[in-house]
Amino acid sequence: MQKTKNTYKKSGVNINLADRFVEHIAKISKRNIKKKSKYLNKDNIGAFGSTFDISKIKIKDPLIVSCTDGVGTKIDLANQFNKFDTIGIDLVAMCVNDLIVQGAKPLFFLDYIAVGKIKFKKLKQILNGIVKGCNISDCALIGGETAEMPGIYDKDKFDLAGFSVGIVSKKKLLNKKNVVSGDVVLAVPSSGVHSNGYSLIREILKNKKISQKIKDELLTPTKIYTKEILNLTKNNLLHGAAHITGGGLVDNLNRSIPSHLCLNLDLAKIKIKNIFTWIKSNNITDHEMLKTFNCGVGFCLIVKKENINKIKSKFTKQYMPYEIGFISKNKIKTKVNIYNKIKW
């Protein structure tokens, strides 16, 4: 009896299904990039690389800024809770929120999706989230890669990575050199846990039943701050900024402070969200909470005190910035001064 021939499909990779998904990506991408069409070569769709014509952007002394990131183990909860329509927003947010820290306007985004087995409905939901994130941040989804890797990922497992590119004028670039003694630190609220600390959350959830409300809060997508922050940089209202991700409030703010200055933070002023109070109740120390989670602060602004009211006028009530600290001279070689305990 003749042996069955080995095929790529038999090994677990379905090229035909992958091609169908690529066709779907092409359709949905065309809708997303309509506003950016003057920067793109329509004849290049389906080519081996994507193009973006920056010569048509009217900006003096342009600098290109690039960022790449993933969503971490939050994707495991998306699998557990069978909810995939928002995880793509997280992916875009984690990249573009890093771009705007330097005052860069996001131009385009590329994604990488790795799966054990292509499930068309699931991938469409993930992609819809990515497109929504790109629309919120006003950038074009111009390319990506979907890899089906049986044996590397279990059939329900997947991973996401993103890459974003932005542009900023040299004169508008935000960096730590702009920060001066006397500046104040404003906290911009997060939408929730965002996309950090989920390995610890998953440990908490082992053998623990949680309500639908907690499930929803744990998968609330990361807030994209592009519109607000670029409005501030346009009006020269920022000296510095920080995206609060892994490492928490102190570590991320420190990256935006020059060594000759000191960061002074009053933890009692942080407006804690309920989801963090719930996480804290699971035998987690204050130190671990501050080191692992944003605790309700998704982004920080370093600004002149006299500009606070102007800055607040650029935000909605839900994400209204509030003062949590200040910058001073580093007289005793202490980079950070922490005041009071966080109020849970």
The residue assigned the tokens 């998704």 is 298
d(CA 167, CA 65): 6
> What pTM did the predictor assign?
0.91
pLDDT of the residue at 321: 98
d(CA 138, CA 36): 9
Residue 214's φ and ψ, nearest 5 degrees, are: -65, -40
pLDDT of the residue at 322: 98
Which residues of the chain form CATH 3.30.1330.10?
15-172
pLDDT of the residue at 124: 93
pLDDT of the residue at 312: 98
Count Cα neighbours of 12 within 13 Å in the Cβ-side half-sphere. Answer: 12
Q: How far is CA 33 from CA 6, 46, 64, 146, 192, in A?
A: 40, 14, 20, 19, 29
Q: To which CATH superfamily is domain 176-339 assigned?
A: PurM-like C-terminal domain (3.90.650.10)
Which residues of the chain form CATH 3.90.650.10?
176-339
> In 315-333, which positions are buried (b, 16+ CB within 10 angstroms) versus exposed (e)?
beeebbbeebbbbeebeee
| H or E segment to which residue 65 belongs | strand 62-70
Residue 108's φ and ψ, nearest 5 degrees, are: -150, 165
3-class DSSP assignment, residue 229 = helix
The CATH architecture one would assign to domain 15-172 is: 2-Layer Sandwich (3.30)
**Mean pLDDT for each consecutive 10-residue tract of the chain (344 residues)?**
55 63 64 66 68 88 96 97 97 98 97 93 95 96 91 91 97 94 98 97 94 97 98 97 96 93 96 97 96 97 98 97 96 83 93
pLDDT of the residue at 155: 79
